[in-house]
Amino acid sequence: MIPTFSLCHSTARLPNGWRPAYEAWLANADNWEACEYILAVDTADKDRWPDLSGTGIILTENTGPQTAVAGWNQSARPSTGKVMITAADDMFPPPHWDTELLKVIPDLDGEYAVEVKCGKSPEDDEWMRMMVHSLITRAYYERIGNFFYPEYRGWYGDADFTEMARFHGVVVDARHLTFEHRHWIGGSTGMDEIYQRQVSQANSELGMGVLGRRRANNFAGGNRIP
């Protein structure tokens, strides 16, 4: 049976830093049997990979850059669900998240990106709102080719995804659904070595350059590198 939801989780907080988020997705689902969970881990962390025996979780190896973007893109590859979500160590879903998402997606076989509230960006400022995590139908994933454009290393991948999805006219406004984002920017957790790796000045400058180029060509090719 084809799963309804693919939860695609990229982590470098091994062996167990990903588990609280996983357990929240599991506990807050109404129909876990309709979900698959995929955990992407970096090749460089092989000595700390978790033992997933008996969990049903699919482990996939990110052999590319040691970044969340590369991990998320890798986690999508073995997925089979109709709706694909970038799960993360710091993203926690509300109760009945699966039931509520099915209410707002017009057609599981259509091209959609769902915008939920994640507690990071001001809702009253249209330019600051971002879809921090991708929540998309498989049809839209197949159109764009990756969760995020692969050149990003830590900054601006979410801004790129948000602008591209709006440009394509596929966004479903579901901001009445609140997902808790326990991120250092919002003050709900502290900076750690994984966040520090992502937010370097070099990654920021790289991201600004990539986003500028992508805007200029109207996100041609989706998230596939030409």
What is the reported pLDDT for 124?
46
Higher pLDDT, 191 or 117: 117
Does 190 map to a domain? yes
Confidence of residue 89 (pLDDT cuts 50, 70, 90): very high
Can you give the CATH number for the domain in which 72 is found? Answer: 3.90.550.10
> How would residue 8 be classed by pLDDT, with cut points 50, 70 and 90?
very high
Tens-digit pLDDT profile for residues 168-190: 999 999 999 999 887 545 545 66
Note the pLDDT of residue 162.
95
State the pLDDT at residue 189: 60
Q: For residue range 191-217, list pLDDT tens digits in order.
A: 566 556 666 778 889 999 999 999 999
| Residue 222 included in any domain | no
Spatial CA neighbour of 41 closest among 66, 23, 19:
66
Residue 221: inside a domain, yes or no?
no
In a domain, 123, yes or no: yes
Poorest-pLDDT segment among 107-111, 162-166, 187-191, 213-217 = 187-191
Strands (E), the chain: 5-10, 35-42, 58-62, 83-87, 91-92, 113-117, 135-137, 171-178, 180-181
Decide: helix, strand or coil at residue 69.
helix
Residue 180 included in any domain: yes
Question: Is 224 among the domain residues?
Answer: no
Taking each helix axis from N to C end, the angle separating 201-216 and 157-168, rounded to the nearest 10 degrees, works out to 20
- Note whether residue 205 is domain-resident: yes
Domain count, the chain: 1
pLDDT tens for each residue of 18-47: 999 999 999 999 999 999 999 999 999 999
Q: Mean pLDDT for the chain?
A: 90
The pLDDT of residue 187:
46
- Helix, strand, coil percentages for the chain (3-state, nearest 5): 35, 20, 45
Q: What is the DSSP letter of 34?
A: G
Q: How far apart are CA 35 and CA 62, in angstroms?
A: 22
Q: 225 in a domain, yes or no? A: no
The DSSP bridge partners found for residue 128 are none
Domain range spanning residue 109?
5-216
